Amino acid sequence: MEFRAIIYVFLGGGLGSVLRFLVSNYTEKLLNIKAFPLGTFTVNIIGCFLIGLLSAYFLKVDNYLKFLLITGFCGGFTTFSTFSAENYSLWQNGNYYTLIFYILSSVIIGLFAVFAGFQMIKN
């Protein structure tokens, strides 16, 4: 592994994490929905779409920007750990319908977003 790839992952991860924080907080404040973790849902779906776009692009063009944008930025921007913790909290609080809806909608819409992003670049 080259040092340049590590630096790109580091920079992309930092930028992605900061943007995740900003988008998540802004979404939560703007829509003010307390019963559903909309901030995390939003960043994860946007991240799925971006990784679809970027993955399709970097199949055609292989360079170090994939480390910055896919591994770093998308990895820092999306968050499976927060998604899991929010699901655990919903479960602990007995919000079973929201829990099931959150899991299913995240997976189904996330897969569709990756597919849509990939198809936009592929075609």
Annotated binding site for Na(+): 75, 78
Distance, CA of 66 to CA of 69 (rounded, Å): 5
Residue 11 has, within 13 A of its CA and on its CB side, a CA count of 12
User: How far is the C-alpha of 108 from the C-alpha of 91, rounded, in Å?
Assistant: 20
User: Residues forming the annotated binding site?
Assistant: 75, 78
